[in-house]
Structure 1
Amino acid sequence: MFDKKFSFWALGVALSATILMFCFPPKITFDYDFESFFPQDDEELAYFYAFREQFGNDNDYLLVALGAEDIFEKTFLEKATAVNEKLKGLELVEGTVSLLDMKEPVIGPFGVRNRQTLDLEGDLSKQAEKLMNSPQWSGNLLDSEADYLLIIVNNKNQISKEAGDELYAEISEILSESGINDIKTAGKIKAQGEFVELLQEEFAFFLSISFGLIIVLLLVIFRSFWGVVIPLLVLTIGILWAMAFSLYFGKPLDVMSVMQPTILSVIGLAALVHFFNHYLNMLRDGDARDVAVKESFSELSIAVFLTALTTALGFLSLFFTSVPSLRLFGLYTGVGVMIMFLAVVTIAPGLLYLVPAMKSAQSDSLRTLWRIGMRSAFLSVTKKRITIVCVFVSLSLLSGLALTDLRINGYILDNLPRNHELVKEFEFFDEKFGGSKPLELSLKVGEKADNLLEKEVLLELEKLENFVRENYESAVILSPLSAVKGINKALNSGSENAFRLPSQGQFERVREFVPQALEQSPVQILSHESKEGRMSTRTADMGSLKSNVLNENLYRFLVEEIDENLVEVRLTGTSHLIDISHESVTRQMARGLGVAFLIVAVVAGFLFRSWRISMVVLLPNIIPLLWMCGVIWLLGIELKLTTAIIFTVAFGIVVDDSIHFMSKMRIELAKGKSWLYALKRTYLETGKAIILTTLILGTGFSVLTLSQFGVTYYSGLLISLALVFALLADLLLLPLMLIPLKKIWDKKNH
């Protein structure tokens, strides 16, 4: 198949396709969408969408903290007021919430009078004392030490990434020209913008470092000009094809895409090493260049195709998860692996026909050393069967126990290290203003109430508010109850002591002013008929592990203390969905691995037409995953949604060595050799290739530990270790498991 005519034809088609790609380049876009990590099969997501349709999104805001030595100094407040007015004037801003434009209603005999919460023309020292002692404002729109003044900028709901970038740039310009030096910001439009900026930097970094790594590895392995140039050209075109494929289909580059250049390059390089090693061996044995090219690609193409297929299917198994970001990463990386294989077999043979015959970089003494080393290793393995099996079983059992003790925990800014500047700014708002993470509770009137403004319902909401405030350590809470408290305060000349539920005698009068209070609320808190509402606040991003403990306590409290016949309460919102996403890690991992196990079993069964042999091939590739769990436990790594991919991806890659091993053994058996002799020849000849490809893949994936993104860092670390564990399993355990199968093979073939 890989004769000169076919190879030149394939090379011509490949180069033509590459030229067309440059003539009609795809549009390169970067994106980071929090909602792409929501599990789509969860009923909570549908409920959230319905809730959002009625009450708006819960995280379309930017927190801006303006700091000064004395925030009640008039000059500072004038600067802050100018900033606030400019922010309100931006096209994509729906409004701002701050003490600078808040007005407190005072209801008297002559109607409603609105007075400034913070009056710049009044006595600022008296106002400062009042505001700092107010539970309504202290820790909410100013921090408890009065070092910072908070402006909540509410942007238009669900604006696009591009619009968010434009808005944040406008806000940044206003803040930089404000004359205020101490400014902190946190929010969705900032986080998405900085994520994508970091993503672009990392993508360029890993693209360049992948090529640098490839050049170094090629020089070490082949030590020849064409041994570097040809693989480099093949891998460059393969990466371009794979990335262009996803871009042509409109998939933007995201946090998961950072890994793709490195993944594709090391997988493609491993395939090229198999082909080139065989090619050089044939040249060394005296075969002509044309014969060596044709035979090396013809003999190994099936084995390399199967390893590429199992790797691709390992990624594609992520498509069966319910998280869009994982699904798309699995789909396009899996397809990308097969595109890389296509680039290898269509470009490399034609180029090898065009250049002079390459010379082997290995000396005779080095080749002899390899043979002696592999023969000694095989003899040692067969002599120490019991010891090897006991060690593998013991480590696997210990790792299995560690698996049961792994913790699942994730954060909103989950892929960034906890010491990153963006994370620190969010933590600043967690500490100073009650939180940066939205907390939403949906409220619905119960069977024994007509609306959420009935006194009995509000008493239930008061119990709920107290629980949320004490347990979640939340910021100020907006709800139907807070609106009623605000009206009661207004009826009592703005007295802070009156910010509470009114007495039964005043309650009916309070209800008269509810419509006006709802109109002035910074967010919608009640439906038109007052039968549905929300309790909205912010909490610290304490991680999904702690959040889930608090949520469980909340569920118990709702059952034991809240009368559902009066009000039905349900946790919802973007933060809740992100926590659910992290909790779904076990389910997502099981789905991906289940599909991957089935695929490998089918491939092994296809090769040998035996389910027993397919199970034997499967076991040594489960062990690296178990040991990886042991490492995760030892290092104290916490599982989260994005780390769920590591197990599936690692399995798809580590199984390649077993496929190569079994493919070579099938070739030896097809030549009429006995089972044990075929096993020995396979070990001696394939062992070297397995060690080299493990070195290449392990080195390539270890480069990912240079990333600032958590998912990229842990993928590099853990997959590199899994490759080493797989090498040990394939060279130490797999041969011992194959020896007893001699009787089964002999019975099938006689």
Structure 2
Amino acid sequence: MWSKRQAFSFLFVSLVFSLSFVLFPPFPRFDYDFEQFFPQDDEDLGFYQSYAQQFGEDNDYLLLAFENQGKEPWETDFLNRFQLLQREIEKLENVDTTLSVLNLKQPRISPFGIRLVPVVSIGQEPQKVNRLDFPLMDKFISKDGKALLLLVRNLKNISKEEGDILYGQILEKISESKLDLRAVAGKIQTQRDFVELMQAEFSFFLGLSLLTMLIMLILLFRSWWGVLIPIFVLGIGVVWGFGVILWLGKPLALMSVMQPTIFLIVGLGALVHLFSHLKQNLEKGFSVQQAIHRTFKHLLIPIGLTMLTTAFGFLSLWFTSVPALKDFGLTTGIGIFMMFLAVILITPGLLFLIRIPSFKNSSNSSKVWRLNRLFLGLLQYRKSVIWIFLGLSVLSIGLGAKVRINGFLLDNLPSNHPIRADFEYFDQQFGGSNPLEIAIWTPSEEGNIFDYAVLEEIQKIENKLQEIFEGVSLISPLTIAKVLNQAQNQGNREAFRFPSKGQYLRMEKILNSNPSQFVPSIYNPENRLARISGRLPDLGSLKMGEIRSSFQEFVDGEIDPEVLRVKWTGTAYLIDRGHESVTLQMARGLGVAFLLVGVIAGILFRSWRISLILLIPNIIPLLMMLAAMYLMDIELKLTTAILFSVAFGIAVDDSIHFMARLRTELASGRTYLYALKRTFLETGKALVLTTVILVLGFSLFLFSDFGVTFYTGLLIAMALLFALSADLLFLPLLLLPMKKVWESKVKKRFTNP
């Protein structure tokens, strides 16, 4: 195995596989879809999908705010250009409707019937603009009175590419209009800007990671072959990883920004182990061919297992119910596997192709002496060390229990990003940009959403929402009743209110006909299902969860379920539900990761007790990471909760290396204590080195503008340092009482091969 001929055969296979990417090139596609963060096993998702079939997606809109160069927007020239722009945008493909003050019409009821009067009429003179006192127009005028809102609703289910084209066309029309665009917010704009930032960060981290790897290799091996071969293998591994991912039709999503660095870090860790071991064999006097053979013979299984457990840490995310996390876990696991193939298929052949110089034996006596003193100290103070770790674990559990679960829509963007500024503008001037959707329906088939008793219940709901969200502007069936009540009173603003019984009777015939011409997309044709909709600021999933809980208590106590049923829904609600489910998602990911690693350890060591020992020192770093989150005021959300299973999958590698080496030492006939000491001295150096590499690699993410990338780097780097301390200080003490178990396992292995 691993002869020159076999190595060249593997190299040829690698060349053919690499050429396949040239002959059948995969095309990179970036995507960012809010819906990918909806938990798929949530029954609320099914309800919303049915609801959206009736009323459309609640986030298929673009908000455009225009100012008149600091002046009031009621000049005829500005309004004419604004109106022309609205008409031009409405002609664009994939635009459903547009809405502004200029196409709002107020109904007037007279003995001659109903007529619709434009709310804003543009005259010929510069300042000749007639405006009616219609409360609904307030939704389209900024609170400071300087800007007008144009709402563009796109067609349902347009693709990311179609959304990009549409947004580009809208910007082109705005540029031609010479209007001053003050702020913009909406799905197609946010998705495009997110993807552009992702593309920039993807390239940045790929280049930065390769540069960092190059510096590390120079410092570690100080030889041209010890630098160029790993860099070449790492580069090919990244190409293979992303090539296969793209061949599978998977787009590069938000968290794909981290994947180049993750693939490179994992691959570099394996190569450092291989090259360090190869160098040691050469220093011992083995020929190049013998050294290569011995290196891959001894390290293939440990390296394969460690990369496998790392991949399992990511693949465990497949068992969550959030598509974005499932795809990230699957694609990262695939990429790590492809990096493993690159390491074992390409590296031996390249080593045989070049001329490797001989090495003089180097001394590491000072490092060994330090580790020896540490090992003796552990034996002397083992009870104290065990109590310290137990105490830290209990403290970490206490602090970790206080970590808040909270998430915001724009969590991942930097605080100074223009999107944030635009969203804040809409929050301040137009009441928000996040959709508020509440479904209401009559429980009986004979019920009508415009029955007076039903409208009374809707009035209670709207009053409660006004109490919770001061100043929120709502649209509902009650709005139609208010509009008609005002229409019956010749447009008097004071009449825009809940109608009395007599006023209702005068408008009942109209309500039972087709009042959607006054306020569209509010109810279904059967008049049984309707919506209460509006826009809110992004208050975070924690605050909104408290609000929804309070609102549900109100509904249960005050709304008659025989008259009206009420359910909060919408995309913002589903995203919040995703954040609220982090405990479940984290438990699923960790549970699968624990199970997979436990099975691997059970097969490798053939003992459930040893498997348990392997897990214990790798649970402690996770608890300490949770405590660190509380101390640093980092909140739990979907994108931080997944880091626990990822950190576990990476951190457990050190424990596997430690215990695999212990088994090898025992198999060579050494006594248990001496084998444990030898393992500690020899493996300890490797653990420190690989941890330094991993921490430096993940620390690169601290340069990211994306919140998810930044916190991934920070938290996993911390978890790896915690894991190193647990593996060096706690794991040996846990293994001391396992003398009989280990010796029996080794004895059985060699007496019953």
Q: Which residue of 1 aligns with 2:341?
A: 342
- Equivalent of 2:591 in 591, 594, 612: 594
Q: Is the 8 A contact 1:485 1:499 kept in 2?
A: yes
Deviation at 1:324, TM superposition (A): 0.8
Which deviates the most, 657-666 or 82-91?
Answer: 82-91
Q: Which residue of 2 aligns with 1:430?
A: 427
| 1:14 maps to amino acid | S
Deviation at 1:74, TM superposition (A): 2.6
Residue 119 of structure 1: SS of its match in structure 2?
Answer: strand
Deviation at 1:688, TM superposition (A): 0.9
Deviation at 1:55, TM superposition (A): 1.4
Q: Is the 8 A contact 1:230 1:348 kept in 2?
A: yes
Q: Which residue of 2 aligns with 1:442?
A: 439
Deviation at 1:697, TM superposition (A): 0.7
The one-character-per-residue Cα deviations of 1:164-196 (angstroms, maximum 9, x if unpaired) are: 111111111122232223521100010000011
Deviation at 1:256, TM superposition (A): 1.3
Question: Residues 288-299 of structure 1: matches in 2 within 5 Å?
Answer: 288-299=287-298
| 1:51 maps to amino acid | Y
Question: Residues 532-543 of structure 1: matches in 2 within 5 Å?
Answer: 532-543=529-540
Q: Which residue of 1 aligns with 2:117?
A: 115
Q: Which residue of 2 aligns with 1:364?
A: 362
Answer yes or no: is 1:218 the counterpart of 2:204.
no
Residue 366 of structure 2: SS of its match in structure 1?
Answer: helix
Deviation at 1:532, TM superposition (A): 1.0
Q: Which residue of 1 aligns with 2:25?
A: 25
State how far apart, in whole Å, the 1-side matches of 2:141 and 2:405 are: 35
| 1:635 maps to amino acid | M
State how far apart, in whole Å, the 1-side matches of 2:520 and 2:409 are: 22
Deviation at 1:728, TM superposition (A): 0.6
Structure 1 unaligned spans of 5+: none
Q: Is the 8 A contact 1:620 1:729 kept in 2?
A: yes
State how far apart, in whole Å, the 2-side matches of 1:518 and 1:294 are: 83
Deviation at 1:82, TM superposition (A): 2.1
Q: Is the 8 A contact 1:72 1:128 kept in 2?
A: no
Deviation at 1:310, TM superposition (A): 0.8
Q: Which residue of 2 aligns with 1:686?
A: 683
Q: Which residue of 2 aligns with 1:246?
A: 245
Q: Which residue of 2 aligns with 1:83?
A: 85
Answer yes or no: is 1:733 the counterpart of 2:730.
yes
Question: Residues 630-709 of structure 1: matches in 2 within 5 Å?
Answer: 630-709=627-706
Q: Which residue of 2 aligns with 1:387?
A: 384
Q: Is the 8 A contact 1:448 1:566 kept in 2?
A: no
Q: Is the 8 A contact 1:11 1:346 kept in 2?
A: yes
Deviation at 1:571, TM superposition (A): 0.7
| 1:76 maps to amino acid | F
State how far apart, in whole Å, the 1-side matches of 2:97 and 2:464 are: 30
Residue 222 of structure 2: SS of its match in structure 1?
Answer: coil
Q: Which residue of 1 aligns with 2:301?
A: 302
| Cα distance, 1:518–1:111 mapped onto 2, change above 3 Å | closer
Deviation at 1:556, TM superposition (A): 0.6
| 1:108 maps to amino acid | S
Query: TM-score, normalised to structure 2's length?
Result: 0.96
The one-character-per-residue Cα deviations of 1:373-424 (angstroms, maximum 9, x if unpaired) are: 2222222222221332232122211111011101011112232134322122
Alignment coverage as a number of residue pairs: 745
Q: Is the 8 A contact 1:67 1:180 kept in 2?
A: yes
Deviation at 1:428, TM superposition (A): 1.0
Q: Is the 8 A contact 1:589 1:647 kept in 2?
A: yes
| Cα distance, 1:44–1:71 mapped onto 2, change above 3 Å | same
State how far apart, in whole Å, the 1-side matches of 2:454 and 2:694 are: 62
Query: TM-score, normalised to structure 1's length?
Result: 0.96
Answer yes or no: is 1:559 the counterpart of 2:561.
no
The one-character-per-residue Cα deviations of 1:45-84 (angstroms, maximum 9, x if unpaired) are: 1111111111111111101111232112333222222222
Q: Is the 8 A contact 2:658 2:683 kept in 1?
A: yes
State how far apart, in whole Å, the 2-side matches of 1:523 and 1:675 are: 80
- Equivalent of 2:608 in 586, 596, 611: 611
State how far apart, in whole Å, the 2-side matches of 1:521 and 1:489 are: 12
Q: Which residue of 1 aligns with 2:44?
A: 44
State how far apart, in whole Å, the 2-side matches of 1:98 and 1:115 are: 15
| 2:566 maps to amino acid | V
State how far apart, in whole Å, the 1-side matches of 2:11 and 2:575 are: 47
Deviation at 1:707, TM superposition (A): 1.1
State how far apart, in whole Å, the 2-side matches of 1:514 and 1:170 are: 39
Residue 318 of structure 1: SS of its match in structure 2?
Answer: helix
State how far apart, in whole Å, the 1-side matches of 2:53 and 2:690 are: 52
The one-character-per-residue Cα deviations of 1:527-554 (angstroms, maximum 9, x if unpaired) are: 1120111111111111101110110111
Q: Which residue of 2 aligns with 1:314?
A: 313
Q: Is the 8 A contact 2:316 2:590 kept in 1?
A: yes
State how far apart, in whole Å, the 2-side matches of 1:741 and 1:73 are: 86
Q: Which residue of 1 aligns with 2:527?
A: 530
Q: Which residue of 2 aligns with 1:471?
A: 468
| Cα distance, 1:645–1:179 mapped onto 2, change above 3 Å | same
Q: Which residue of 2 aligns with 1:201?
A: 200
| 2:370 maps to amino acid | G
| Cα distance, 1:483–1:522 mapped onto 2, change above 3 Å | closer
Residue 101 of structure 2: SS of its match in structure 1?
Answer: coil
Q: Which residue of 1 aligns with 2:751?
A: none
CA RMSD of aligned residues (A): 1.9
Q: Which residue of 2 aligns with 1:185?
A: 184
Q: Is the 8 A contact 2:36 2:323 kept in 1?
A: yes
Question: Residues 11-22 of structure 1: matches in 2 within 5 Å?
Answer: 11-22=11-22
Residue 65 of structure 1: SS of its match in structure 2?
Answer: strand
Residue 137 of structure 1: SS of its match in structure 2?
Answer: helix
Residue 153 of structure 1: SS of its match in structure 2?
Answer: strand
Q: Is the 8 A contact 1:479 1:534 kept in 2?
A: yes
Q: Is the 8 A contact 1:280 1:359 kept in 2?
A: no
Q: Which residue of 2 aligns with 1:512?
A: 509
Deviation at 1:135, TM superposition (A): 4.2
| 1:605 maps to amino acid | G
Q: Which residue of 2 aligns with 1:98?
A: 100
Which deviates the most, 39-48 or 521-530?
Answer: 521-530
Deviation at 1:609, TM superposition (A): 1.6
| 2:221 maps to amino acid | F
Residue 537 of structure 1: SS of its match in structure 2?
Answer: strand
| Cα distance, 1:566–1:347 mapped onto 2, change above 3 Å | same
Deviation at 1:603, TM superposition (A): 1.9
The one-character-per-residue Cα deviations of 1:332-371 (angstroms, maximum 9, x if unpaired) are: 11122111111100000111111112555x9835x22222
State how far apart, in whole Å, the 2-side matches of 1:518 and 1:524 are: 10
State how far apart, in whole Å, the 2-side matches of 1:732 and 1:177 are: 68
Residue 429 of structure 1: SS of its match in structure 2?
Answer: helix
Deviation at 1:448, TM superposition (A): 9.4
Q: Which residue of 1 aligns with 2:5?
A: 5
State how far apart, in whole Å, the 1-side matches of 2:445 and 2:82 are: 48
Q: Is the 8 A contact 2:120 2:131 kept in 1?
A: no
Residue 530 of structure 2: SS of its match in structure 1?
Answer: strand
Q: Is the 8 A contact 2:95 2:152 kept in 1?
A: yes
Residue 447 of structure 2: SS of its match in structure 1?
Answer: coil
Q: Which residue of 1 aligns with 2:145?
A: 146
The one-character-per-residue Cα deviations of 1:80-107 (angstroms, maximum 9, x if unpaired) are: 2222222222222111111111111111
State how far apart, in whole Å, the 2-side matches of 1:222 and 1:474 are: 66
Q: Is the 8 A contact 1:518 1:524 kept in 2?
A: no
| 1:283 maps to amino acid | L
The one-character-per-residue Cα deviations of 1:254-305 (angstroms, maximum 9, x if unpaired) are: 1011111100100000001111111000100110000000110111101111
Q: Which residue of 2 aligns with 1:285?
A: 284
Q: Which residue of 2 aligns with 1:354?
A: 353
Residue 669 of structure 2: SS of its match in structure 1?
Answer: coil
| 2:79 maps to amino acid | L
Residue 164 of structure 1: SS of its match in structure 2?
Answer: helix
Which deviates the most, 714-723 or 77-86?
Answer: 77-86
| 1:497 maps to amino acid | E
Answer yes or no: is 1:620 the counterpart of 2:622.
no
Residue 185 of structure 1: SS of its match in structure 2?
Answer: strand
State how far apart, in whole Å, the 2-side matches of 1:197 and 1:363 are: 52
Q: Which residue of 1 aligns with 2:260?
A: 261
State how far apart, in whole Å, the 1-side matches of 2:507 and 2:206 are: 64
State how far apart, in whole Å, the 2-side matches of 1:303 and 1:539 are: 53
Q: Which residue of 2 aligns with 1:491?
A: 488
Q: Is the 8 A contact 2:450 2:512 kept in 1?
A: no
State how far apart, in whole Å, the 2-side matches of 1:534 and 1:730 are: 57
Q: Which residue of 2 aligns with 1:547?
A: 544
Residue 570 of structure 1: SS of its match in structure 2?
Answer: strand
